[in-house]
Amino acid sequence: MNLRFLETFLMVARLKSFSAAGERMNTTQAAVSSRIATLERQLGVRLFERDMRSVVLTPHGLSALARAEEIVKLVAEFRTGIGSPATLSGTIAIGTVDTIVYTWLPRLLDQMKATYPHVSLDLTVDTSRNIAELIRDGSVDLGILMGPVMDETLQSIEVCSFECAWFASAKLGLPARLELSDVILHPLFAYSKGSQPHQAILRLLEQHGVPSNQARIYNSNSIATMIRLLCDSGGIAALPAPMVEDHPDVARLARINVNVVLPPMRFHVVYGESAANPIPATIARMAQRIAAEFDAQRCAGP
């Protein structure tokens, strides 16, 4: 029996789509359909019920799932335990947020390239909420996001935390210290609605008796966008200090000491254990190490 056919079976079962499985495995939908059809002929049972809109495991497919996972897992463990990582190939899908992109993600990608030179990368940059959903539905193999993600089927490991600091456009000429009541006199740039940083700002306003409707809050899922708007349009934002400190436009911003402190942003690496793909667990360990090195270098200073 062809191992690739079992891996394809697991990918279709995970993504519930022949076309999505084809994209993830760098092949065509027709090739995926052919592999599944051949596997079904070899087993003499139907593994999927499929129509134009859905792909669902049959009772035989459900029965085969655990056994296929065990076979593929054993082969993957043999391959990674005995063989060289340099021989592995395929694609890994990673989802992350732009805070990580602008801090230590390039270091992680360099390490991945050195360890897995023949593994391609499919990178998605989005909000933490959206990345969490992509992990849950199997569209990405690993996410680095503000977490944790509360799901017993996923591993969620904290890798770093970034201090949040208040920044304003330098052209506003604001004093170095402000009260929260002064802050809301200016446009307040915040992360997307529903995000942890956005909720933290709303809680601060509530705790200090400031109705949120009195604040002009402009939401964005992009730190780069917020910094650009801060520089050119004025306003105030609470942003992760490491990312702003290394930004090319940092000279156009002023760090403001506000009488309220936002909680740090805590980032987690999140992934699902996969029999067919042991690489995410290895990359998660890489991310932990690289994030720790990044933090140590920051603390050590220039």
Exposed, middle or buried: residue 67 (CB in 10 Å: 0-12, 13-18, 19+)?
Answer: exposed
Tokens of 189: 């740039």
Q: What is the pLDDT of residue 61?
A: 92
Query: Looking at the predicted structure, is the pLDDT value of residue 48 above 90?
Result: yes
Give the model's pLDDT for residue 33.
92
Residue of higher predicted confidence among 88 and 192: 192
Name beta bridge partners: 169. 253
Lowest-confidence pick of 109-123, 196-210, 271-285, 286-300 = 271-285
Structure tokens at 159: 């890798």
For residue 216, CA distances in Å to 37, 173, 236 come to 58, 19, 10
Measured distance CA(221)–CA(63) in Å, rounded: 42
* Rounded Cα distance, 283 and 108, in Å: 8
Q: What is the pLDDT of residue 81?
A: 60
Q: Does residue 73 share a domain with residue 58?
A: yes
Say what the pTM is: 0.71
Distance CA 255, CA 251 (A): 10
Give yes or no: residues 235 and 249 share one domain.
yes
Same domain, 181 and 254: yes
Q: Which of 82, 101, 116 is a domain's end point?
A: 82
Instruction: State whether 281 and 135 are in the same domain.
Output: yes
- Specify the pLDDT at position 215: 81
Report the domain count for the chain: 3
Coil, helix or strand at residue 162? strand
- The answer on pLDDT for 186 being more than 90 is no
Burial of 189-213, coded b for 16+ CB within 10 Å and e otherwise, reads bbbbeebebbebbbebbeeeebeee
Q: d(Cα 226, Cα 219) in Å, to the nearest integer?
A: 9
Predicted confidence at residue 21, as pLDDT, reads 87
| Domain that residue 137 falls in | 88-162+266-300
